[in-house]
Amino acid sequence: MTAKSWLTPTIIAVVALVLPFLLRDPYPQHILIMILIWATLGTAWNLLGGYAGQVSFGHAAFFGLGAYSAGLLFLHLKISTWWGMLLGPFVATAVAVPIGLICFRLRGPYFALATLALGEIFRLVFTNWVKFTHGAQGILILSTFPTKLPYYYIALAIWGLAMFTLNRLINSKLGYYFVSIREDQDAAESLGIPTTRYKMYAFLPSAFLAGLTGAFYMNYIAFIDPHVVFSLGDISVMVILVVMMGGVANPWGAPVGAAIYIALNEIFRAWLGSANVLAFGILVCLVILFLPNGVMGELGQIRRTAFRQKPAAAGGGQK
C-alpha cells in the first residue's frame, strides 16, 4: 500500500465524519443519509453488475427482503426492527443462493429478464400475502431516535462496510476472475474458472449488502410497503441508473452516482415540482449518450474537455 492509496479514502472518511456537524439542519442530514443508502445499494449492485457483468434488474428483491425481515420481526414477534439488521442480510443472502443457481444458467439479456421477473414475483407475493405481510397496507413503526445524527453514522458505517468489501474483493484474485467473466465468459471457463461459482461469490455479498441496506431503510424511514421496497422502477432500475451515471465497475461510481441522483432529485423537485422525474429521465438519456461509462469512468475525458487539452495518445479514460 502506497501513501497515496490511503490518502483519498482517509480524507473522505474524515470529511464524512465531520460533515453532519457542519450541516446541522435535519433536511441536509436527511439528504446525506439518502445518499449513503443509495451509495451502499449501488455498491452492492456494482459488485455483481459492474465487475462480474451480471446485470441484475431485480436487486429490489434483496433490498425488500432486508426491509421486510426487519418489519416482520416487529409485526409478528414484537421485537425491535434493529434486529432486522442482523437477520435481513442473511435472509437476502439465503434467498440469493437458489436465485443465483437458477439465473446464472442464463446469460446477458436473458439473465436480466429472469432477475426482473423474480423481483416482480417478490413484489406481487408480498402485496398479496396479506395475512403475513399486511399487503399493500405496509408496516409502520416508530422511529427509535429523535435526531438524524445516529442514523447518519449507522448509514455511514454500512457504506464503509460496503466499500471495504468491494475493495477487498476486487483487489483480490476474485476481482480478476469477475472481470474475466464479464469480458468473455467462454474464455474464462476455458481457462478453468468455474464461472457459476465465481458469479455466486459476487452475487452473495451483493445480496447481503442490499439486504442490510433494506433493513436500515426500514429502521430509518419507519414505513415500508411492497410497492416502495420491491419497486421495479424506483429501486431495481434506479440503482442501475445511479451506478451507470456514476461509473460502472468503478469503486467510486456508486457513491458519485448516488450523490448526483439524490442532489438532482432534490433540486429538480424544488425547481420543477412534478416534472422532476422528467428532468431526471432526460438527464439519464444524455449521460448514457455522451458519458457512456459514467462520470467517474469518463473522468479523463471530462478533464480534457474542461481544460481544452488535446486527447491523450492512447485512450487515457479510467476503466
Partner 1 sequence: MSLFGQTVICGILLGGMYALIAIGMTLIMGVMKIINLAHGALVMVGMYITYVCYKSWGLDPYIGMLIAMPALFLIGCLIQRYMINRLVEVDSILPENQVLLTVGIMLVLTELARLIFKSDYRSVTTGYSSSTFFVGDMSISIPMTVGFFIAMAFTYLLHLFLTRTDLGRSIRATAQDRNAAIYMGVNAPRVTVITFGIGSALAAAGGSLLLPLFYLWPDIGHLFTAKAFIITILGGMGSTMGAIFGGLTLGIAESLGATYISMGYKDVVGLVIFLLVLLFLPGGFKSLTKR
x/- map, 67-106, partner 1, by CB under 8 A: -----------------------------------x--xx
Sign of the Cα torsion 304, 310, 312, 315 reads positive
Rounded to whole angstroms, the Cα distance separating 188 from 95 reads 27
Q: Could you tell me which residues come within 8 angstroms of residue 295 by beta carbon, excluding any fewer than 6 positions away?
A: 245, 246, 247, 253, 256, 257, 260, 287, 302
User: In one letter, which amino acid is 140?
Assistant: L
What distance in Å separates the CA atoms of residue 287 and residue 264, rounded to the nearest whole number? 13
159-218: contacts with partner 1 (CB under 8 A): 182
Decide: 298 and 317 in contact? Cβ < 8 Å: yes
227, 277, 300, 302: which one binds partner 1 (CB under 8 A): 277
Per-residue CA distances from 268 to 148, 262, 273, 283 (Å): 23, 10, 7, 11
Cβ at position 274, least distance to partner 1 in Å: 7
Using CB under 8 A, which of 181, 293, 299, 301 touches partner 1? 293
Among 7, 13, 14, 128, binds partner 1 (CB under 8 A): 128
Torsion sign (Cα): 62, 58, 288, 54? positive
Largest CA distance in the chain: 64
Q: Could you say which of 16, 161, 288, 302 contacts partner 1 (CB under 8 A)?
A: 288
At closest approach, how far in Å is the CB of 188 from partner 1?
16
SS3 78: coil
Task: Print the binding letters for residues 50-69 with partner 1: x by CB under 8 A, - otherwise.
Answer: x--x-x--------------
CA atoms of 95 and 148, how far apart (whole Å): 32
Instruction: Establish if 284 lies at the interface with partner 1 (CB under 8 A).
Output: yes
Is 111 within 8 Å of 54 (Cβ atoms)? yes
Residue from the set 11, 18, 86, 125 that interacts with partner 1 by CB under 8 A: 125
Number of shown-chain residues binding partner 1 (CB under 8 A): 46
CA pair distance 5, 18, nearest whole angstrom: 21
Q: Which of 295, 267, 209 has the alpha carbon at shortest distance from 36?
A: 209
Q: Are 82 and 211 in contact (CB under 8 A)?
A: no
The answer to whether the beta carbons of residues 112 and 231 sit under 8 Å apart is: no
Residue of the chain from 285, 303, 312, 316 that contacts partner 1 (CB under 8 A): 285
* Binding window for partner 1 (CB under 8 A); candidates: 113-121, 137-145, 153-161, 197-205: 113-121
* Residue 245 CB, nearest approach to partner 1 (Å): 10
CB of 220 to partner 1, least distance (A): 26
49 binds partner 1 (CB under 8 A): yes
* Choice between 13 and 272, CB closer to partner 1: 272
Q: Counting contacts by CB under 8 A, is residue 258 touching partner 1?
A: no
- Residues of this chain that interact with partner 1 (CB under 8 A) are 49-50, 53, 55, 102, 105-106, 108-110, 112-114, 116-118, 120-121, 124-125, 127-128, 182, 232-233, 237, 240-241, 244, 248-249, 274-275, 277-278, 280-282, 284-285, 288-289, 292-293, 297, 319
